[in-house]
Chains A and B, each alone.
Chain A
Amino acid sequence: QSALTQPASVSGSPGQSITISCTGTTSGVGGYFYVSWYQQHPGRAPKLMIFDVSNRPSGVSNRFSGSKSGNTASLTISGLQAEDEADYYCSSYATSANLVVFGGGTKLTVL
Chain B
Amino acid sequence: QVQLQESGPGLVKPSETLSLTCTVSGGSIGSGSSYWSWIRQPAGKGLQWIGRIYTTGATNYDPSLKSRATLSVVTSRNQFSLRLTSVTASDTAVYYCATGPLQNPEAFDSWGQGTLVTVSS
- How many cross-chain pairs have Cβ atoms below 8 Å apart between A and B? 67
Within 8 A of B (CB), among A63-96: 89, 91-93
How many of chain B's residues have a CB under 8 angstroms from any CB in A? 24
Contacts A45-B96, A46-B111, A99-B61; A52 near B104 (Cβ below 8 A): yes
A92 to B63 Cα, complex, angstroms: 16
- Chain A residues lying within 8 Å of B96, measured Cβ to Cβ, are 45-46
Q: Which residue of B lies closest to A98 (CB)?
A: B60
Q: Are A46 and B61 in contact (CB under 8 A)?
A: no
Chain B: interface secondary structure?
loop
Contacts A89-B47, A105-B46; A36 near B106 (Cβ below 8 A): yes
Contacts A34-B106, A45-B113, A93-B106; A102 near B62 (Cβ below 8 A): no
Which residues of B approach A to under 8 Å, CB–CB? 37, 39, 46-49, 52, 60-63, 96, 100-101, 104-109, 111-114
- 20 A-B contact pairs sorted by A residue (CB < 8 Å): A1-B63, A34-B106, A35-B106, A38-B108, A45-B96, A45-B113, A45-B114, A47-B111, A48-B109, A51-B101, A52-B104, A89-B46, A91-B106, A91-B108, A93-B106, A99-B62, A100-B52, A102-B46, A102-B47, A105-B46
